[in-house]
């Protein structure tokens, strides 16, 4: 949507349309027959999502190892993911993010946190074996779908838990970790982060290269989401197996946002044979909207400072309410997610794109039409509307990721 219009005009049109139609609105598919087809395909095809932050969300909600814990994701009103909504949306294999905040790199405890989050995922599958099962490879996912279960593969977001002992790579592989995102929001001992400006290693550290060797030996996918451009280039120079970006969108629509993948790097991804899995967060989808929201957030902050108001005071709350009524937070939409997919397909081909929503990881910034895991049919509908063939949609939903995953497992020693 809007991709043919000049950027400045596009921003104005977008902001206006979003304010008028979408802010309080919902995505309504216009063609019921096509929507029925989209829903059918969502159920028929395996849908893999490269990144769902359920484990950390549950940790924040004080997960307890008792069956009665109300956050156990069967049917809840919390967060973006549970069994019931996943079934509705056709989601079969959300990669559970074993997320390690950057503070654990400096303060220690990364391996212990990773173990505890993995244990949480294991606990969910062992206490609810009719609903969930751990998946360590594509065949596990296929089997889970046949049995009507949601497969829970795992990816580790931040390589910090490997600490100083490369033998831990094998430990995590055995526990079910299928990819490692080399770092998160700060440079770590493996490589530089796209969110950090220190450029500690100007890419990958010497230790980082050893880690890459060990990951390839153990059959763990290399995830280039979050790492700096220099680090990305060095991964492409060094690694001989295809890689993934588990939850990154394209930089074309978010100029200057290094966290998304540039066209230059997309071209290298094509040569590498890898897959970029598109992130659904509004900040990842639309630089204009992201800028607008940030600007308004800053203005509100300034306003409270000028008036010397605490945001939790009665008067402060009133000022915030008035301001947000005047300038509601804007959201991107499902059409924009399709724009990102279109761009990857145009530039490097249908074989290199997948879905990596970042559900439960991007707060309330999800786009209209993709508010939780029940909504994948909306995206499939838009793709059908744009003329994507069934085989193309199948490739996006799981086949591309399965290709990389199988290749990495086959290359393992
Ligand atoms: Zn992330």
Q: Which of 379, 312, 303 is nearest to 339 (CA)?
A: 379
Structure confidence at residue 388 as a pLDDT band (50, 70, 90): very high
Cβ atoms of 52 and 81 within 8 Å: the answer is: yes
Structure confidence at residue 23 as a pLDDT band (50, 70, 90): very low
Q: Are residues 275 and 297 in the same domain?
A: no
Residue 320: give the domain boundaries: 1-25+287-331
Least reliable range by pLDDT among 61-65, 66-70, 238-242: 66-70
Residues 84 and 77: their CA atoms lie apart, in Å, by 11
Q: How far is CA 37 from CA 42, 52, 280, 339, in A?
A: 9, 26, 22, 21
Q: Are residues 104 and 71 in the same domain?
A: yes
Give the phi and the psi of residue 205 in degrees, each rounded to 5.
Answer: -80, 165
Considering 331, 356, 391, which residue would you say is the last residue of a domain? 331
Q: Once rounded to an integer, what is the mean pLDDT over residues 263-277?
A: 98
Rounded distance from Cα 20 to ligand 1 centre (Å)? 31
Least reliable range by pLDDT among 31-35, 65-69, 239-243, 347-351: 65-69
Q: Are residues 135 and 246 in the same domain?
A: yes
Q: What's the 3-state SS for the chain?
A: CCCCCCHHHHHHHHHHHHHHHHCCCCCCCCCHHHHHHHHHHHHHCCCEEEEECHHHHHHHCCCCCCCCCCCCCCCCCCCCCCHHHHHHHCCCEEEEEEECCCHHHHHCCHHHHHHHHHHHHHHHHHHCCCCEEECCCHHHHHHHHHCCCEEECEEEECCHHHCCCCHHHHHHHHHCEEEEECCCCCCCCCECECCCCCCCCCCECHHHHHHHHHHHHHCCEEECCCECHHHHHHHHHHCCCCCEECCCCEHHHCCCCCCCECHHHHHHHHHHCCEEEECCCHHHHCHHHHHHHHHHHHHHHHHHHHCCCCCCCHHHHHHHHHHHHHCCCCCCEHHHHHHHHHHHHHHHCHHHEEECCCECCCCCCCCECCCCHHHHHHHHHHHHHCCCCHHHHHHHHHHHHHHHHHHHHHHCC
User: Does residue 2 carry a pLDDT above 50?
Assistant: no
Cβ atoms of 151 and 144 within 8 Å: the answer is: yes
Residues 244 and 229: their CA atoms lie apart, in Å, by 14
Rounded distance from Cα 184 to ligand 1 centre (Å)? 7
The set of residues, in sequence order, having a beta carbon less than 8 Å from that of 239 and lying 6+ positions away, is 212, 216, 222, 272
Token pair 């049109």 is found at 13
Rounded distance from Cα 406 to ligand 1 centre (Å)? 23
Rg (C-alpha) for the chain, rounded Å, is: 21
Q: Are residues 92 and 152 in the same domain?
A: yes
Rounded distance from Cα 30 to ligand 1 centre (Å)? 33
Rounded distance from Cα 299 to ligand 1 centre (Å)? 27
Q: Are residues 297 and 397 in the same domain?
A: no
Rounded distance from Cα 358 to ligand 1 centre (Å)? 7
Q: What is the pTM of this model?
A: 0.92
Considering 300, 331, 362, which residue would you say is the last residue of a domain? 331
Rounded distance from Cα 226 to ligand 1 centre (Å)? 7
- What's the residue count for the chain? 413
Q: Are residues 253 and 307 in the same domain?
A: no
Structure confidence at residue 401 as a pLDDT band (50, 70, 90): very high
Give the pLDDT confidence score for residue 123 in this predicted structure: 95
Considering 299, 331, 363, which residue would you say is the last residue of a domain? 331
Give the pLDDT confidence score for residue 17 in this predicted structure: 53
Rounded distance from Cα 281 to ligand 1 centre (Å)? 10
Token pair, residue 367, equals 């786009």
Cβ atoms of 161 and 168 within 8 Å: the answer is: yes
Q: Are residues 291 and 276 in the same domain?
A: no
Rounded distance from Cα 247 to ligand 1 centre (Å)? 7
First vs last C-alpha separation in the chain: 46
Q: Are residues 108 and 233 in the same domain?
A: yes
Cβ atoms of 378 and 337 within 8 Å: the answer is: no
Q: Tell me the CATH number at 226.
A: 3.20.20.140
Token pair 């957030």 is found at 297
Cβ atoms of 150 and 144 within 8 Å: the answer is: yes
Residues 74 and 149: their CA atoms lie apart, in Å, by 11
Q: Are residues 264 and 227 in the same domain?
A: yes
Token pair 């204009």 is found at 288
Rounded distance from Cα 180 to ligand 1 centre (Å)? 12
Residues 161 and 167: their CA atoms lie apart, in Å, by 11
The total domain count for the chain is: 2
Give the pLDDT confidence score for residue 13 in this predicted structure: 55
Q: Are residues 344 and 327 in the same domain?
A: no
Rounded distance from Cα 77 to ligand 1 centre (Å)? 23
Rounded distance from Cα 303 to ligand 1 centre (Å)? 31
Q: Are residues 14 and 57 in the same domain?
A: no
Rounded distance from Cα 100 to ligand 1 centre (Å)? 10
Give the pLDDT confidence score for residue 53 in this predicted structure: 97
Rounded distance from Cα 250 to ligand 1 centre (Å)? 15
User: Does residue 69 carry a pLDDT above 90?
Assistant: no
Rounded distance from Cα 206 to ligand 1 centre (Å)? 24
Give the pLDDT confidence score for residue 74 in this predicted structure: 93
Token pair 């997610």 is found at 337
Rounded distance from Cα 154 to ligand 1 centre (Å)? 14
Rounded distance from Cα 157 to ligand 1 centre (Å)? 7
Structure confidence at residue 8 as a pLDDT band (50, 70, 90): low
Rounded distance from Cα 315 to ligand 1 centre (Å)? 36
Taken in order 388, 390, 395, 396, is the CA torsion positive or negative? positive
Residues 244 and 402: their CA atoms lie apart, in Å, by 11
Residues 311 and 325: their CA atoms lie apart, in Å, by 16
pLDDT in tens, 161-183: 999 999 999 999 999 999 999 99
Q: Are residues 47 and 168 in the same domain?
A: yes
């Amino acid at each position: 949507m809007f991709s043919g219009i000049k950027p400045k005009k596009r921003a104005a049109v977008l902001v206006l349309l979003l304010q008028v139609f979408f802010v309080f609105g919902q995505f309504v598919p216009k063609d019921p027959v096509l929507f029925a087809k989209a829903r059918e395909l969502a159920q028929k095809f395996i849908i893999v999502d490269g990144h769902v932050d359920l484990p950390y969300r549950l940790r924040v909600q004080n997960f307890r190892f008792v069956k009665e814990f109300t956050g156990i994701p069967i049917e809840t009103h919390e967060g973006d993911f549970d069994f019931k909504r996943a079934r509705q949306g056709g989601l079969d294999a959300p990669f559970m993010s074993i997320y390690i905040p950057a503070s654990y790199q400096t303060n220690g405890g990364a391996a212990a946190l990773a173990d505890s989050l993995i244990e949480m995922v294991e606990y969910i599958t062992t206490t609810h074996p009719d609903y969930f099962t751990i998946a360590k490879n594509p065949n596990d996912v296929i089997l889970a779908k046949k049995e009507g279960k949601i497969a829970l593969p795992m990816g580790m977001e931040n390589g910090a838990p490997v600490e100083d002992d490369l033998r831990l790579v094998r430990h995590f592989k055995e526990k079910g970790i299928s990819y490692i995102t080399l770092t998160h929001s700060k440079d770590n001992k493996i490589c530089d982060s796209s969110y950090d400006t220190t450029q500690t290693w100007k890419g990958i550290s010497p230790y980082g290269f050893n880690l890459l060797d060990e990951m390839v030996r153990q059959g763990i996918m290399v995830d280039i989401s979050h790492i700096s451009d220099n680090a990305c280039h060095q991964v492409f120079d060094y690694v001989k197996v295809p890689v993934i970006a588990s939850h990154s969108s394209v930089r074309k629509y978010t100029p200057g946002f290094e966290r998304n993948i540039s066209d230059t790097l997309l071209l290298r991804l094509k040569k590498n044979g890898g897959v970029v899995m598109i992130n659904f967060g509004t900040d990842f989808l639309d630089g204009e909207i992201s800028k607008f929201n940030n600007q308004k957030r800053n203005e509100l902050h300034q306003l409270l400072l000028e008036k010397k108001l605490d945001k939790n005071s009665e008067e402060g709350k009133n000022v915030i309410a008035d301001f947000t009524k005047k300038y509601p937070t804007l959201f991107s939409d499902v059409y924009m997610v399709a724009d990102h997919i279109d761009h990857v397909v145009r530039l490097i081909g249908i074989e290199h794109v997948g879905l990596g929503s970042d559900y439960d990881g991007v707060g309330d910034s999800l786009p209209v039409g993709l508010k939780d895991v029940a909504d994948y049919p909306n995206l499939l509908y838009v793709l059908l509307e744009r003329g994507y063939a069934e085989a193309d949609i199948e490739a996006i939903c799981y086949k591309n990721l399965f290709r990389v995953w199988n290749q990495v497992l086959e290359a393992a020693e």
